[in-house]
Amino acid sequence: MSADVIGAEHRFATQQTPAIALEHLSKTYPGGVRALDDVSLVVPRGTFLAVMGPSGSGKSTLMHCAAGLDSPTAGSVVIDGREISGLNETRRTELRRERIGFVFQSYNLVPSLSIADNITLPLRLAGKAPDRAWLQTLIERVGLSDRLGHRPAELSGGQQQRAAIARALVARPAVVFADEPTGALDLRSAHEVLRLLRELVEELEQTVVMVSHDPAAAAQAHQAVVMADGRIVDTLHAPTAADLAYCLIALGEG
């Protein structure tokens, strides 16, 4: 399968190192369960990509392998120009800390820390001082300037997820992986978080790869890939919720 290059409007980025390059990626679990089947994908910088598919389609496995959280059975994963497939766990952990950000459905904030300390936690764990100008930009951009001294429990779900997004970006990663980032939010908060992710891509040239089962959420991305049986079966540019819902229905879900 040839690599799907995401986004005609980003073709100029092919002259640069892509944020992610997956080549002939396969993953087989014990018992012969094949979760990924020869997947190739190139994600240029400054792209907001959604990954969708029915349950068991391989979308979560794709994200885990691409983010270095799991190792593929075959194929290569290159993040920001660096091959990670053959790295040991220590080196993968270092690369994730430096070049990859994560946003989870459950926020994963530390309850005992202030929002300010939660946001800067990845830098402290790496023994690095924050870039004050960048940190201030992030805090203002996510709208939490007046909440920095609060604990997570004192914030709404949407505010906690915005703090988690700032934490994911504080080390200026090559790519942010968002795993169902709006799954625990009400409709209004979900829309605000998705709009924020898109604006971070467009205004700060961040790269975001979001796994979602929700066509309305995935439609906020610039592009979407649809997976089934461990393969990419469709690529949609400027997707609509209706287009994505139809794809899922055609694949037997929805």
- Which residue ranges make up each domain of the chain? 45-70+86-250
pLDDT of residue 75: 95
Question: Is-contact 145 72, C-beta < 8 A?
Answer: no
| Fold (topology level) of 45-70+86-250 | Rossmann fold (3.40.50)
Between CA 120 and CA 127, with CA 142 as vertex, the angle to 5 degrees is 10
Tokens of 217: 């959420």
Question: In order along the chain (254 residues), what is the average pLDDT of each group of 10 residues?
Answer: 47 66 95 94 95 92 93 94 86 88 94 97 90 93 95 96 96 94 92 93 93 93 95 95 91 68
CA distance 42 to 78: 10
Question: What is the rounded end-to-end Cα distance, in angstroms, of the chain?
Answer: 27
